[in-house]
Amino acid sequence: MSFLIYIIFGGIVGWVASMLMGTDGQQGIILNIVVGIVGAVLGSWIFGLLGIGGAITGFNLGSFVVALIGAVVLIALLKAVR
């Protein structure tokens, strides 16, 4: 069941991040899920480096913010590479 929660969480985070970054029309649902999941890992890593402790601990507001920041950073990096 937790795998399904990760997919739903990643989809929501990826969708919100793509709307914030203006790439929602270019991404489909699969890419939103991938961006959300990779963004969660990236956000957790960034917050860990800063010493803030941004562990993704479930479907809550703190985890959502950490994952969203990571997804926005990921999309910004991808836009810069393109």
Which pLDDT tens digit goes with each residue over 11-65? 999 999 999 998 877 778 888 889 999 998 898 888 888 877 666 777 788 888 9
What pTM did the predictor assign?
0.86
Q: What is the pLDDT of residue 54?
A: 65
d(CA 57, CA 80): 30
Q: What is the pLDDT of residue 26?
A: 78
d(CA 57, CA 40): 11
Rg over CA atoms, the chain: 12
d(CA 27, CA 29): 7
Q: What is the pLDDT of residue 73?
A: 93
pLDDT at 1 > cutoff 70: no
Which residue is associated with the tokens 């810069």? Answer: 80
Contact in structure between 23 and 79 (CB atoms under 8 Å): yes
Q: What is the pLDDT of residue 17?
A: 93
